[in-house]
Structure 1
Amino acid sequence: MNPEHLDNLIRHCEEYTGRPWDGSVEHATAAADMAAEIVDILHAHVDWLSGCKERVERAGLPWNTRTCRDQSRRDGDLAAPPQWIGNYSENCTPAHLLNR
């Protein structure tokens, strides 16, 4: 590992766990696990958004922010947020970034 990789690891650990890297493999693994969960949630968001876009276009409407919101309301997504939003809020926001 060169100094640049080490600096990236240190920043990564602090960003995703909210505390400076303690030098342990477990801490680096926890940061990597958090980053992987965020990627999974973003993939779920892309899937959700793609499905919404398909339904809007199938209805013959243009794809834009308004039609996305309207379709989300018809799908019930704004009344009950998709699970990925809850996962992100509960599991992926480091404590030091909450309630800013």
Structure 2
Amino acid sequence: MADDAKDQVKNSSTGLSDAAVEYGRKVLEFGFINTVAAFEAARKLAAVKSPQEYFQTATDLTREHFERLSEQIEELSEMAPSPAQSDRNNTGTGFWD
């Protein structure tokens, strides 16, 4: 019984550790993408010739940023387990069962 519990804890922690590493990698990837996009936005805004062009460019960049951020949030939320998933995965053979 103790060995089974120990193995289950070990396997659970390994899976959680791998998931956390992958989640961290994805966050870093998004950070890089967003940094590149910020510099590109600054370049575009610096190149405008009129107030009207500035506001149009700023509006377009804001829309693009919102769309990109929404996609990133959705992807990260799919990677993170929800409490409902944890309950659903509980088969009654856990450490505290």
TM-score scaled to structure 1, two decimals?
Answer: 0.50
3-state SS, counterpart of residue 78 of structure 1: helix
Give the C-alpha shift of residue 92 in structure 1. 2.0
Moved over 6 A (4+): none
Change (3 A) 1:36 1:51: same
If you compute each CA radius of gyration, which structure gives the higher value, 1 or 2?
2
Q: Secondary structure at the match of 2:63?
A: coil
Aligned residues: 67
Q: How many Å apart are 1:80 and its aligned residue?
A: 7.6
Pick 1 or 2: higher relative contact order, CA cutoff 8 A, min separation 6: 2
Report the CA distance between 1:79 and its aligned residue: 6.7
Which residue is 1:73 aligned to?
A: 59
% of aligned pairs identical? 6
Letter in 2 for 1:90: E
Q: Which residue number in structure 1 is paired with residue 88 of structure 2? A: none
Task: State the TM-score, normalizing by the size of structure 2.
Answer: 0.51
Task: Mark the runs of 5 or more structure 1 residues left unpaired by the alignment.
Answer: 1-21, 62-66
| Structure with the largest fraction of helix | 2
CA RMSD of aligned residues (A): 3.1
